Amino acid sequence: MSYLTKEKVSEIFANYGGKATNTGSIEGQIALLTERINGISAHLQQNKKDFGTHRGLMKLVGQRKRLLTYLSKHNLQGYRALIEKLGLRK
């Protein structure tokens, strides 16, 4: 399982949060969670019986869902743009 390096995290926040130091932006946090979810999903494809990691994945998915709900209530255009950019909710 690969971990996110500082450079990768900075790149994610720069692309989605405006700038690399804006780690509090909702869009950047959602993008970071999506990156982590994709990595863990790939790990679980190989290790189907890793139930501890599966539980962690479900927690991350729930956290991302809460952040997306918050974003949709406060900034609907930003929400629509983000899910289009990340490829969520097909």
Contact 10, 26 (CB under 8 A): no
Tens digit of each residue's pLDDT (9 = 90 or more) over 4-31: 899 999 999 999 988 989 889 999 999 9
Asked whether residue 53 is domain-assigned, the answer is yes
Q: Is the pLDDT of residue 2 over 70?
A: no
Contact 60, 37 (CB under 8 A): yes
Mean pLDDT of 30-52: 96
CATH number at residue 63: 1.10.287.10
pLDDT value at residue 46: 96
Look at the block and give the residue holding tokens 């909710």: 89
Quote the distance between the C-alpha of residue 36 and its chain's center.
Answer: 6
pLDDT value at residue 35: 95
**How many structural domains are present in the chain?**
1
User: pTM of the entire structure?
Assistant: 0.91
Asked whether residue 1 is domain-assigned, the answer is no
Contact 81, 16 (CB under 8 A): no
